[in-house]
Amino acid sequence: MRTTLRRVQANADEPHRVVIIGSGFAGLFAARRLARAPVSVTVVDQTMHHLFQPLLYQVATGILSEGEIAPATRDVLRRQANASVILGRVTGIDLEARTVTSRAIDRELVTSYDSLIVAAGAGSSYFGHDEFATHAPGLKTVDDALELRGRIFGAFEMAEIENDPQARPAWLSFVIVGAGATGVEMAGQIAELAHKTLRSDFRHINPADARILLVDAGPRVLPQFDERLSHKAADHLRQIGVEIHLNVRVTGVDQSGIDLVTEDAEHQRIEARTKVWAAGVQASSLGALLADAAGVPLDRGGRVPVMPNCSLSGRPEVFVVGDMMSLRDLPGVAEVALQSGRHAAGEIERRLAGGTAPAPFRYRDLGMLASISKNFAVAELGPIRIWGLAGWLLWLFVHLTFLTGFKNRISTLFHWAVSFIGRGRAERTTTVRESLVPVPGDDQLHRG
Ligand SMILES: Cc1cc2nc3c(=O)[nH]c(=O)nc-3n(C[C@H](O)[C@H](O)[C@H](O)COP(=O)(O)OP(=O)(O)OC[C@H]3O[C@@H](n4cnc5c(N)ncnc54)[C@H](O)[C@@H]3O)c2cc1C
C-alpha cells in the first residue's frame, strides 16, 4: 500500500490556522462560532457527516433515515468561506511541532495549526470486556445504528422461519444493557415495534410475544433524572411490555444470550439473540495522548482534565471540549459539547483581538429529556418536572429545533408523522451486509 505524505504548510500571509478534530456537536459549533473570525478553520473527522447522536435510536428502529440525523459536514459548512473539511482519522497530535496527522485509506496528511480544538467525543465502554462488543453492539455511530437495525428486524425474520419452537423465543428476546436515556429509548422503541408496527406483518409468529428486557447494574432507570421521573419512566416501560431487571451485572455475552449475576450473587442466563449495549462511555483514545503530553491523569471515563477555559494545562493554544473534556463533573451531553465548543472558539477569537486573561467556561444547563414511546417522555428543566404527553410534545419541539438543516427538519417531521400518527416505520430497509445474522455454532458473525 502506498502512503502519500502531504504537509499543509504554514504561510507568512496565511491567517491564524485553527484545526478542529471532530465534527460532532462540539466541533461543528466551534467551527460555526469562528465564521466571522480572521482565521482559517480546518475540520478533520473520520466520517463525512455531523451526527445528531440523540436520535440514533430512531435510525436503529426504523423511524428515521441516517441522512436525516447525519447531514454531510461539507454541506453544513458550505457557506462558511473560511472553513474547510478533511476526511481522515486522526492518528497523532504533535504538540511541539503543532501538527495533526490524519489518515484516510492510504493517504496520510499532516496539518499544521496555530490553535487546536480537540472534540473527538466518546465511544462505548465495555468495562474491560471488549469481547462483548461482537454480540452486543453499542449505539454511537451511524454504522452502529444500521447494524442494530439489521439485527432487530432480522431477528423477527429469523423467528418467522425458525422451525424449532424451543429456539424461537431467543430470536424474539431483546436485551438492552444500560437503563440510561439511550437504553430506555431503545427498549421503548423495540416494544412499540413488537406490539404495534409489526403487529400484522408475520404469519407464523406473533411479534407481540417478543420479550424486551432492560437490565442495569444500578437500582433505577434513568439515574441521571430526578427519582420521581425515574419511577414514572419505569412504570410506563412496564405498561408497554418492557421487563426491567435492576441491580444485575452482566458477566458474559455470547451469540445466543447473556449471563447476569444479581445482587444476591445468583447467576442467571437469558437466551436472547439480540443484545444492545447502552451501558458505558469511554472518551476518545486521543485523550490519553493529550493527557500524557500535558502530564495530567485521565479521569475514569478517559476524559482529559482541562483548565477552567477548556484549554489543556500548559498548552493555552490547545482546547479539549465536549465528551472528551473533564471539567467540574459536567455531564457528557450535547449542550455541554456545543457550549464548550463555542467557548473554545470564542477564546481563540478573543486572544486574536488582544485579550489575555482566559475566560472560564460557564455552562448553562437547559435540562434533560428522554422519550420512551409515542406520547410519553420525561423532562427535567431546573425545578420543573414534566412527563407523559406534555413531556413528549416538548421533546418533539426541542429535537426538531436542534436538528441541523432545514431539509432534515421537514423530512424528519414527515417520518415522525408516519410513526407517531400511524404506527408505521418508513425506514425499515437494511442491506444484506447490515442484516447481521449470527450463524448457529459459529461464534463469528456472518456478513451477507
Ligand atoms: C445514542 C446516544 C443518545 C444520546 N442522547 C442524548 C440526549 O438525548 N441529550 C443529550 O444532551 N445528549 C445525548 N447524547 C450525548 C451527546 O450526543 C454527546 O454528549 C455529544 O454528541 C458529544 O459531542 P462531541 O462533539 O463531544 O462528540 P461527538 O458528537 O461524539 O463527535 C465526535 C466526532 O469526532 C470524530 N472522531 C472521533 N475520533 C476521531 C479521530 N481519531 N479522528 C477523526 N475524527 C474522530 C467522530 O467521528 C465524531 O464525528 C447521546 C449520545 C448517544 C450516543
Position 432 confidence tier, pLDDT thresholds 50, 70, 90: confident
CATH classification at residue 347:
3.50.50.60
Q: Report the distance separating Cα 99 and Cα 109, nearest Å.
A: 10
Q: Within 6 Å (CB) of ligand 1, which residues are found?
A: 21-27, 44-47, 51, 53-54, 56-57, 89-90, 119-121, 139-140, 181-182, 284, 286, 322-323, 332-335, 337
393 & 269 share domain: yes
CATH classification at residue 211:
3.50.50.100
Q: Whose CA is nearest to atom 29 of ligand 1?
A: 24
Range among 46-50, 389-393, 408-412 with highest mean pLDDT value: 46-50
Q: Report the distance separating Cα 413 and Cα 390, nearest Å.
A: 18
Kindly give the distance from the C-alpha atom of residue 447 to the centroid of ligand 1, in angstroms, as a whole number: 27
Q: Report the distance separating Cα 252 and Cα 237, nearest Å.
A: 25
Mean pLDDT throughout 163-168? 94
- Please give the residue that has the higher pLDDT: either 9 or 314: 314
Q: According to the model, what pLDDT value does residue 343 have? A: 98
Ligand 1 atom nearest to 325, measured from its CA: 26
Q: According to the model, what pLDDT value does residue 116 have? A: 98
171 & 214 share domain: yes
213 & 152 share domain: yes
Domain that holds residue 153: 130-279+374-421
Q: According to the model, what pLDDT value does residue 294 have? A: 86
Q: According to the model, what pLDDT value does residue 435 have? A: 66
Kindly give the distance from the C-alpha atom of residue 283 to the centroid of ligand 1, in angstroms, as a whole number: 10
Position 5 confidence tier, pLDDT thresholds 50, 70, 90: very low
Position 403 confidence tier, pLDDT thresholds 50, 70, 90: confident
Q: According to the model, what pLDDT value does residue 80 have? A: 97
Ligand 1 atom nearest to 323, measured from its CA: 26
Residue 216 maps to a domain:
yes
Ligand 1 atom nearest to 90, measured from its CA: 42
Please count the other Cβ atoms lying within 10 Å of the Cβ belonging to residue 179.
29
Query: Do residues 46 and 75 make contact, with C-beta atoms less than 8 angstroms apart?
Result: no
249 & 136 share domain: yes
Kindly give the distance from the C-alpha atom of residue 120 to the centroid of ligand 1, in angstroms, as a whole number: 8
C-alpha cell at position 46: 473520520
By most ligand atoms within 8 Å of CB, the mutation choice from 19, 49, 53, 321 for ligand 1 is 53
Q: Report the distance separating Cα 114 and Cα 44, nearest Å.
A: 15
**pLDDT tens-digit profile of 283-313?**
999 999 999 988 999 999 999 999 999 999 9
Residue 367 maps to a domain:
no
C-alpha cell at position 159: 423467528
Query: Do residues 81 and 284 make contact, with C-beta atoms less than 8 angstroms apart?
Result: no
In the chain, count H helices and then E strands.
Answer: 12, 26
Q: According to the model, what pLDDT value does residue 400 have? A: 84
**pLDDT over 80 at 79, yes or no:** yes
By most ligand atoms within 8 Å of CB, the mutation choice from 74, 333, 397, 402 for ligand 1 is 333
**pLDDT over 80 at 438, yes or no:** no
Ligand 1 atom nearest to 23, measured from its CA: 49
DSSP letter for 47, please. Answer: S
Kindly give the distance from the C-alpha atom of residue 27 to the centroid of ligand 1, in angstroms, as a whole number: 10
310 & 396 share domain: no
Residue 78 maps to a domain:
no
Q: Whose CA is nearest to atom 15 of ligand 1?
A: 333
Residue 435 maps to a domain:
no
267 & 321 share domain: no
Query: Do residues 31 and 20 make contact, with C-beta atoms less than 8 angstroms apart?
Result: yes
Position 220 confidence tier, pLDDT thresholds 50, 70, 90: very high
Q: According to the model, what pLDDT value does residue 413 have? A: 82
**pLDDT tens-digit profile of 17-72?**
999 999 999 999 999 999 999 999 999 999 999 999 999 999 999 999 999 999 99
Q: Is 149 exposed, middle or buried (0-12, 13-18, 19+ CB in 10 A)?
A: buried
The percentage of residues in the chain with a pLDDT greater than 70, rounded to a whole number, is 93
94 & 163 share domain: no
**pLDDT over 60 at 272, yes or no:** yes
**pLDDT over 90 at 211, yes or no:** yes
Kindly give the distance from the C-alpha atom of residue 243 to the centroid of ligand 1, in angstroms, as a whole number: 29
Helix (H) or strand (E) holding 352: helix 334-352
Radius of gyration of the chain (CA): 23
Q: Which of 43-57, 103-117, 298-312, 400-414 is least confident?
A: 400-414
DSSP letter for 94, please. Answer: E
Looking only at the bridges linking them, the beta strands covering 115-118 and 16-21 are parallel
Kindly give the distance from the C-alpha atom of residue 25 to the centroid of ligand 1, in angstroms, as a whole number: 7
Mean pLDDT throughout 244-251? 97
Q: Whose CA is nearest to atom 33 of ligand 1?
A: 22
185 a catalytic residue: yes
Ligand 1 atom nearest to 139, measured from its CA: 1
Model pTM? Answer: 0.92
Q: How much helix, strand and coil, in percent to the nearest 5, is found in the chain? A: 35, 25, 40
Position 236 confidence tier, pLDDT thresholds 50, 70, 90: very high
Residue 344 maps to a domain:
yes
Q: Which of 68, 162, 185, 427 is catalytic?
A: 185
218 & 270 share domain: yes
Kindly give the distance from the C-alpha atom of residue 219 to the centroid of ligand 1, in angstroms, as a whole number: 26
**pLDDT tens-digit profile of 327-354?**
999 999 999 999 999 999 999 999 999 9
Backbone angles phi, psi at 368, to 5 degrees: -130, 150
Query: Do residues 309 and 360 make contact, with C-beta atoms less than 8 angstroms apart?
Result: yes
Mean pLDDT of the chain: 91
Kindly give the distance from the C-alpha atom of residue 261 to the centroid of ligand 1, in angstroms, as a whole number: 31
Q: Whose CA is nearest to atom 20 of ligand 1?
A: 334
Q: How many domains does the chain have?
A: 2
Mean pLDDT throughout 71-83? 96
307 & 379 share domain: no
Residue 369 maps to a domain:
no
Residue 443 maps to a domain:
no
Mean pLDDT throughout 131-145? 95
Residue 180 maps to a domain:
yes
Q: Whose CA is nearest to atom 50 of ligand 1?
A: 54
C-alpha cell at position 249: 451485572
261 & 185 share domain: yes
Position 269 confidence tier, pLDDT thresholds 50, 70, 90: very high
**pLDDT over 70 at 126, yes or no:** yes
Ligand 1 atom nearest to 278, measured from its CA: 1
Q: Whose CA is nearest to atom 3 of ligand 1?
A: 54
Q: According to the model, what pLDDT value does residue 150 have? A: 94
Query: Do residues 313 and 296 make contact, with C-beta atoms less than 8 angstroms apart?
Result: yes
